[in-house]
Amino acid sequence: MLHQENIPSTPGKSKPEKSHNYGFRSKVLTFWSFLFLLVFLFFFLISPSPYTPSRRNLKTPSSPSYGGPQWEKQVRKSARPHSLSGLTVLVTGAAGFVGSHVSVSLKKRGDGVVGLDNFNSYYETSLKWARKGLLERAGVYVIDGDINDKSLLDKIFDVVVFTHVMHLAAQAGVRYAMLNPNSYVQSNIAGFVNLLETCKSSDPQPAIVWASSSSVYGINTKVPFSEEDRTDQPASLYAATKKAGEEIAHTYNHIYGLSITGLRFFTVYGPWGRPDMAYFFFTRDILRGKTISIYESPDKGSVARDFTYIDDIVKGCLAALDTAQKSTGSGGKKRGPAQFRIFNLGNTSPVPVSRLVSLLEKILKVKAKKKVSPLPRNGDVEFTHANISLAQRELGYKPNTDLETGLKKFVKWYLSYYSDSRKNNF
């Protein structure tokens, strides 16, 4: 029946009805298309441009957010040292914890500094942008870009002749490696190789100082850890990528004559620190009345770290830059053997995590809600302890901040930063 009703009995009869239906339908269609277009235009107009902060993390390494005479002028100005003997340093990871401190210290003593950072969202990006603000006030321009972006690196090296590269950009954190293993490979291996490729091809080649990690000692039990100890038993993918970085660095030193110094940092802490680290989120959780987990080793012993204060680390980084010899190659060719060094930068006095917590309770004047839990199998090692005699001898490195003094400075910064952040709506 239905079928029959839809078939016109005679062409003449059905024609006007059909044309009426089509006319009505096409009006409806035009109306909805117009409405759709309006809605589309509205969202297009109100959506932020690719370079506004809310889209920062969607940026791909190839986004051309750099270049142009104004950009080059800013980069050159930032790179200019204030004395004849001043260094010209590219600091990667400049908006990071160690990177921001090192950049400001270099600039303060008259070196030229250009920062590079991809502002990724591994932890709160507002903290990275706040550090960038700090750097800008100190006269350091930070380029928003990725070490995996080869054309960006080439461009930066075209604009500035760097005497040194302080490579601190990395995917940090031991435990996160189980959640996002690829980010470690991407930053700590692929990104590092990309940077070394640019450095080796440049003429003159810069000397490179970069951040390795105490985690390369892995499940080593011989204490204190010294640079000659074995580092072939990493306990986490993070450690494995840092160890790979050390081997890769050796290759570039060997083949291309790049002067390379690796620094094994031991649990660096302090103001402007990283919110993913235990001392930082313990402080936050204690203040919020949240329970914190204190890990213990399988034999019920306390897990311990050779916590090292940021100012001591910065002195070690600057000393490494100052004592770095020139690379011997140029334009991708080795002209002679070049310096290759690895140093521990620790504090030489391991502190159990339980002691870290009691110090925080004392400084914050708040009792922590705590539970003791077994060290999870997530890459954490039971303890770290640096032998720093090599760094002492070669770099004049001498840490002089004990954990209590350093934590007081951290807590002072933390309270002021987060009360200001709330005011400024961070």
Ligand X SMILES: O=C(O)[C@H]1O[C@H](OP(=O)(O)OP(=O)(O)OC[C@H]2O[C@@H](n3ccc(=O)[nH]c3=O)[C@H](O)[C@@H]2O)[C@H](O)[C@@H](O)[C@@H]1O
Active site residue ranges: 238
Smallest distance from ligand X to CB 173, Å = 5
Smallest distance from ligand X to CB 219, Å = 14
Smallest distance from ligand X to CB 248, Å = 17
Neighbours of 409 (CB within 10 A): 17
DSSP run (H or E) holding 248: helix 237-256
Q: Are 258 and 205 in contact (CB under 8 A)?
A: yes
Asked if 277 touches ligand X (CB under 6 A), the answer is yes
Q: Which of 166, 172, 168 is nearest to 184 (CA)?
A: 172
Asked if 168 touches ligand X (CB under 6 A), the answer is no
Burial of 154 (0-12, 13-18, 19+ CB in 10 A): middle
Smallest distance from ligand X to CB 360, Å = 12
DSSP, res 325: P
Asked if 309 touches ligand X (CB under 6 A), the answer is no
Binding segment (CB under 6 A) for ligand X, from list 84-92, 166-174, 222-230, 392-400: 166-174
DSSP, res 303: P
Q: Are 127 and 271 in contact (CB under 8 A)?
A: no
Smallest distance from ligand X to CB 55, Å = 27
- 314's CB contacts (< 8 A; 6+ apart) are 98, 101, 102, 105
Q: Tell me which residues in 179-218 interact with ligand X (CB under 6 A).
A: 213-215
| Closest CB to ligand X among residues 376, 396 | 376
What's the CA gap between 248 and 254, in Å, rounded?
10
| Closest CB to ligand X among residues 290, 398 | 290
Q: Which of 308, 386, 385 is nearest to 343 (CA)?
A: 386
Tokens of 134: 């700090």
Binding segment (CB under 6 A) for ligand X, from list 189-197, 246-254, 263-271, 309-317: 263-271
| Closest CB to ligand X among residues 104, 303 | 303
Q: Tell me which residues in 350-389 interact with ligand X (CB under 6 A).
A: 353, 380, 384
Asked if 303 touches ligand X (CB under 6 A), the answer is yes
Residue of the chain from 65, 180, 186, 293 that contacts ligand X (CB under 6 A): 293
- Which parts of this chain interact with ligand X (CB under 6 A)? 172-174, 213-215, 265-267, 277-278, 293-295, 303, 305, 353, 380, 384
